[in-house]
Amino acid sequence: MIKKSIYVLICCFLLGIATISAQQKITLLNGEEINVTSYSIGEMFVNYKLTGDSPKKLRIVDKYDVFSVTNTDNKEVVLYKPADSLDFTIDEAKVYMEGERAATKHFDKSGSSISSIYVGAASGFLGFYSIPLPFLYSMTLGRKNPKQLPAEFKSYEGNEAFRLGYNREARNIKLKQSLKFGYVSLGISLTMLVFLTK
């Protein structure tokens, strides 16, 4: 009886490992990964389902936004095709996406958030004319590349594809953070101004 129970537990464990390793995945060109239960590749779209989706529900993503799909055999099927000689090769595109993922996880956005709070708060004293200022500041901030890579990615310093991916994602993060904190602090500043001038 004990041997039978141990056998059942081992079988369940091995089945669990097989299920985990058989996870299907869609990797987008922006580096984002979507774990899916099933997918099919059409001419223009990749259709897919997530865990818990009803049988009738069908999600789609533009085929040209997809880098690759990974099937149940853990084999990657690359959909990305360079349009011309100026595009990244497949290997360069993989490194570019690594750069984007590195920025998403490791880019320090605190500097842009803090400066945007000050700009938004100070802008509030201009009343109605202050509304475009946080936007203009965010646009300026979002155009600047980070000065250096985090220490753990120093080996990529001379890799153009990685650096381009990292810089692009870091600029997007700075822009979003700056807009969010700039307008929140502007709203607080304008509200305080209204109460103080009553």
Q: Where in the chain is the domain with CATH 2.30.30?
A: 2-78
| Burial grade of 73 (CB within 10 A; 0-12, 13-18, 19 or more) | exposed
Alpha helix stretches (DSSP H) within 25-159: 90-106, 110-123, 133-141
Please give the Cα distance from 47 to 58 (Å, whole number).
7
pLDDT in tens, 94-146: 999 999 999 998 898 888 889 999 998 888 888 777 888 999 999 998 888 88
Task: Give CATH for domain 2-78.
Answer: 2.30.30
Q: pLDDT of 36-81, one tens digit each?
A: 998 989 889 999 999 888 888 889 999 989 999 998 888 998 999 8
pTM confidence score: 0.72
Q: What end-to-end distance do the CA atoms of the chain give, in Å?
A: 82
